[in-house]
Amino acid sequence: MSEEMEEMIVDAVSNTFENLAFMFVEEVDKSELENTGDEYFISKMAYSGDNTGSLVMATTKQMCINLATNILGLDDDEEPEKSILGDAFNEVLNVVCGQLLAEKYGEKAIFDLTIPEISSVDDKKWNEFLELEETIGIMVDEFPVLIAAYFND
């Protein structure tokens, strides 16, 4: 992946987390992202139309708790239901995808987006995703997030 494309992805992720959840992003070398032992979530979505591809994003359960709390304006001592955690993370991926497609292909390009699908994964799946060449590592506040974009053009 080109440096320009990686920067475009990180910018889309940064803008989304900052504007939706008041959380701040820092790109890091993937080797700095340690296995936290937390439960992990991976969300995937695809797009088709003028071009095709997919986005995949992974993070910890605790980051999803903070994300949902920020989006919903909950008190820190209120833990949202697990389904709400997934909804919040899926919404971030959906917005990132929209911003990224508009930036990469222009405002007039037409796409059909799939509904993001989230699943809970273990350390092994997290590490497999971390090791992929396409994966970009970032920190959102103090939480690790991985994202990969697959463009079929």
pLDDT band at 150 (very low <50, low <70, confident <90, very high): very high
How many other C-beta atoms are found inside a 10 Å radius of the C-beta of residue 46? Answer: 19
Q: How far apart (Å, rounded) are the C-alpha atoms in residues 66 and 141?
A: 10
Q: In the prediction, which pLDDT does 68 show?
A: 92
- The pTM score is 0.93
Q: Where are the beta strands (DSSP E) in the chain?
A: 25-28, 40-49, 53-60, 111-113, 117-121, 136-140, 143-151
pLDDT at 138 exceeding the cut of 80: yes
pLDDT band at 79 (very low <50, low <70, confident <90, very high): confident
What is the amino acid identity at position 110?
I
Q: In the prediction, which pLDDT does 38 show?
A: 81
**Domain limits, the chain:** 3-151
Q: Which residues contact 151 (CB under 8 A, 6 or more apart)?
A: 5, 51, 53, 104
Phi, psi dihedrals of residue 33, rounded to the nearest 5°: -90, 105
Mean pLDDT of 144-151: 96
- Please count the CA atoms within 13 angstroms of the CA of 63 that sit on its side-chain side: 27
Q: Which residues contact 85 (CB under 8 A, 6 or more apart)?
A: 41, 61, 64, 65, 67, 68
Q: In the prediction, which pLDDT does 66 show?
A: 92
pLDDT tens sequence across 6-62 = 999 999 999 999 999 999 999 999 988 877 778 899 999 999 999 999 999 999 999
pLDDT at 78 exceeding the cut of 80: no
Longest dimension (CA), the chain: 46
Q: Which CATH number fits domain 3-151: 3.40.250.10, 3.40.50.300, 3.20.20.70, 3.40.1550.10?
A: 3.40.1550.10
